[in-house]
């Protein structure tokens, strides 16, 4: 089980899911997602997958869906893809193409801080927007810590098109979050249907794997079977 986090987050968001999978006897790894760009992040994940033997199930949250959809293409060891409130791109799609295809996303330019770095700029969700936008069903103290430790996304990633998606040849499952204010549930349903994913819906914010870990683990187990 390879658990891939998204933007404005890190691998700690998978803690309860990883615990549940490990208790069920599954080997689990939750690698860092560099968040530098779709092609670069997919290449990094592909390099990690190349070190793992046996059948693999890739599980992604949010932007991580862009990454696994590209990293798994052509990898015969990957047997299933699981998307948790995640982007499921087709070839040529960008993040804004999918995020704003339907109304409801609160991750707008006004909700972001852009901080320059030597190679461009990084995007962060502003503190005033973070809990309501990203983690509305988690305690305020938890959301505050998540905001403080969020990993930024390289701003140029918003303009980068996705490549040939792995879901064209690998079966997929989708956990849709009905109360998501990052990726509207209508967009999630559209992407899942387009990919032919087996869909389960839960009442959850964007971080469905944190607020609904049991449902997330159950879906991953079904994908594994």
Range of the domain at 96: 2-224
CATH number at residue 61: 3.40.50.1820
Q: How far apart are CA 33 and CA 175, in angstroms?
A: 20
Q: How confident is the model over 12-28, as a mean pLDDT?
A: 98
Yes or no: say if 95 and 191 are a contact pair by the CB < 8 Å rule. Answer: no
Residues 163-193 have pLDDT tens digits of: 999 999 999 999 999 999 999 999 999 999 9
* The pTM of the whole model exceeds 0.75: yes
Residue 81 banded pLDDT, cuts 50, 70, 90 = very high
Which DSSP helix (H) or strand (E) runs through 138?
Answer: none
Domain count, the chain: 1
**What percentage of the chain has pLDDT greater than the value 90?**
99
**What percentage of the chain has pLDDT greater than the value 70?**
100
Q: How far apart are CA 71 and CA 56, in angstroms?
A: 12
Query: Which of left, alpha, beta for 74 (phi over 0: left; psi -120 to 50: alpha)?
Result: left
pLDDT at 63: 98
Residues 100-139 have pLDDT tens digits of: 999 999 999 999 999 999 989 999 999 999 999 999 999 9
DSSP codes, 151-212 = PPEEGGGGGPPP-S-GGGTS-EEEEEETT-SSS-HHHHHHHHHHHT-EEEEES--S-HHHHS
């Amino acid at each position: 089980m390879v658990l891939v986090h998204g933007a404005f987050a890190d691998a700690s968001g998978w803690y309860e899911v990883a615990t549940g999978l490990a208790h069920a006897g599954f080997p689990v790894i939750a690698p860092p997602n560099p968040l530098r760009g779709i092609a670069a992040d997919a290449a990094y994940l592909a390099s990690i997958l190349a070190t793992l033997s046996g059948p693999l199930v890739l599980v992604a949250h949010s932007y991580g869906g862009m990454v696994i959809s590209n990293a798994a293409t052509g990898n015969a060891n990957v047997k299933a893809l699981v998307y948790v409130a995640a982007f499921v791109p087709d070839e040529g799609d960008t993040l804004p193409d999918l995020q704003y295809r339907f109304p409801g996303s609160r991750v707008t330019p006004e909700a972001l801080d852009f901080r320059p770095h030597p190679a461009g700029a990084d995007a962060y969700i502003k503190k005033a927007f973070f809990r309501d936008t990203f983690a509305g069903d988690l305690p305020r103290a938890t959301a505050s810590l998540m905001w403080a430790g969020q990993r930024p996304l390289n701003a140029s990633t918003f303009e980068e098109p996705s490549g040939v998606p792995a879901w064209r040849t690998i079966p997929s499952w989708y956990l849709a979050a009905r109360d998501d204010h990052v990726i509207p549930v209508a967009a999630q349903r559209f992407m899942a249907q387009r990919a032919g994913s087996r869909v389960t819906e839960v009442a959850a914010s964007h971080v469905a794997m944190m607020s609904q870990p049991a449902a997330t683990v159950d879906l991953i187990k079904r994908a594994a079977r």
